[in-house]
Structure formats: C-alpha cells, structure tokens
C-alpha cells in the first residue's frame, strides 16, 4: 500500500519499476497538471476539497481537517483503467477504479489542511497521476447537510492508452480475480471499497455486483 513517506521520498517509484517507462509521468508533468488544475479553480473559497470514491476513502495519505459524506451527480464508479502494477502485472493485468460520466454516486469529501495545503496537494497528485490515466476536474459536490461545494475529482480519460471500455462485472471479474502485485490483490481492493462504503452507511450496486461476481469466480476456480 502506498504511504506518505514513500511518496515524499520518491521510494514509491520502486513499486512501478515494471511499468513501461513511457507510461510513467515525470515530476514535471505531474507539477504541470497540478498547476493547471489550480488555475481552473472555481469560486473564491480558500478551501480545497477532494472527492474520495475509491482507496482515498480508507487510505487518503494526504492530511485533511474535515471528512463528510457527499454525493456527486453526473458520474458513476467504473473499473475502466487497465491495471498493470500495484495490484496487477503486465503479464496478468487487472482493472483500476475511476469515474465515468452519467448517473450519480456517493463517497466522502475531504477538506485538505490549509496549513499544509501545498504539500498535501503535491502528495495527492503524485499518488493519483503516476501514469496520467486520470483527468483531475473541479465538480460540484453536495454534502450530507445539503451544502454544495466544488471539489477535485479524478475521472477517466478515454483518450488514455490505459482506458478500457467494457466494465461489466461478468467481463472484468475473471481478470481481477487472478490479478495481484506488490500492493496485494485486485479483488482485495474491491472488498476494501465495499467495506469502506458500508462503514459510511453507503453502498454502490456496481461494487456489490462486482464483489459478488469475484466471490463466485473465486469459488469456481477453487
């Protein structure tokens, strides 16, 4: 699992040694993406919120001073990124979670600590933009008390070479059931996400269906 020290020291790159070098983003590319996103920041609020919908829910790494249940309209969870490191390999790829347009879904909004905001954003960007497979966007998010905020969300980039269009559980579960890497198994990620949602009093029918399919495939293979 990625941690703050590994990202800050650059040691995290050892976990991606198996990736083709052309896929890895340079620090300059990562910094440029962060700068472009901040330049497009809407409104005048000094707060920076991030919408967490996957591993950021249980392993945010970046420090935050507020965590709220939130709803994001116009997007849904989708395992639409080909995964070849971390919880998979080039020889046995899996799938990584992202967001695709349409629908709505729930997760948590994290307000990054203002006193260390620059450091928290840099850590977040290094973590999420290792290969540039995501597109960071500002999007309206509704907190559980009805308050609307603008938050950063990392969404899918269909033009990226790692994008995969077929995300049906019946199609991807057999791949994910056998994919594993330095961070653990691909299936474990799904179960951790399902548990994180439950802990928040939430659920996602797509994640539940995928978890059930993974369990079924695993049992059949045993």
52-82 per-position pLDDT tens digit:
999 999 999 999 999 999 999 999 999 999 9
Burial call 148-183: b when 16+ CB within 10 Å, e when fewer: ebbbbbbbbbeebebebeebebeebbbbbbbbbbeb
CB atoms within 10 A of CB 111: 17
Q: Which of 14, 118, 119, 128 is catalytic?
A: 128
Summarize the confidence of residues 112-139 as an average pLDDT.
94
Summarize the confidence of residues 7-19 as an average pLDDT.
79
- Domain residue limits, the chain: 4-165
Q: Is 168 a catalytic residue?
A: no
* pLDDT over 70 (residue 5): yes
Residue whose pair of structure tokens reads 């199609």 in the numeric block = 171
Q: What is the distance between the alpha carbons of residues 94 and 149, in angstroms, rounded to a whole number?
A: 33
Pick the CATH number of 4-165 from 3.30.10.20, 3.90.1150.10, 3.50.50.60, 3.10.490.10: 3.10.490.10
pLDDT for position 180: 96
pTM recorded for the entire structure: 0.94
């Amino acid at each position: 699992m990625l941690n703050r020290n590994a990202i800050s020291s650059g040691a995290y790159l050892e976990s991606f040694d198996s990736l083709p070098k052309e896929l890895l983003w340079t620090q300059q590319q990562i910094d440029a993406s962060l700068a472009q996103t901040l330049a497009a920041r809407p409104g005048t609020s000094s707060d920076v919120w991030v919408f967490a919908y996957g591993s950021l829910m249980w392993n945010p790494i970046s420090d935050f001073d507020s965590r709220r249940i939130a709803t994001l309209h116009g997007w849904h969870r989708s395992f639409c990124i080909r995964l070849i490191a971390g919880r998979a390999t080039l020889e046995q790829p899996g799938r990584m979670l992202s967001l695709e347009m349409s629908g709505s879904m729930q997760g948590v909004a994290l307000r990054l600590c203002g006193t260390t905001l620059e450091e928290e954003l840099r850590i977040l960007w290094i973590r999420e933009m290792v290969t540039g497979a995501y597109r960071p966007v500002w999007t309206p998010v509704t907190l559980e008390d009805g308050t609307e905020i603008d938050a950063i969300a990392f969404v899918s980039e269909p033009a990226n070479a790692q994008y995969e269009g077929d995300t049906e559980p019946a199609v991807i579960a057999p791949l994910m059931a056998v994919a594993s890497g330095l961070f653990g198994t691909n299936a474990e990620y799904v179960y951790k996400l399902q548990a994180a949602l439950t802990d928040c009093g939430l659920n996602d029918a797509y994640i539940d269906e995928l978890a059930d399919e993974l369990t079924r495939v695993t049992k059949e293979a045993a």
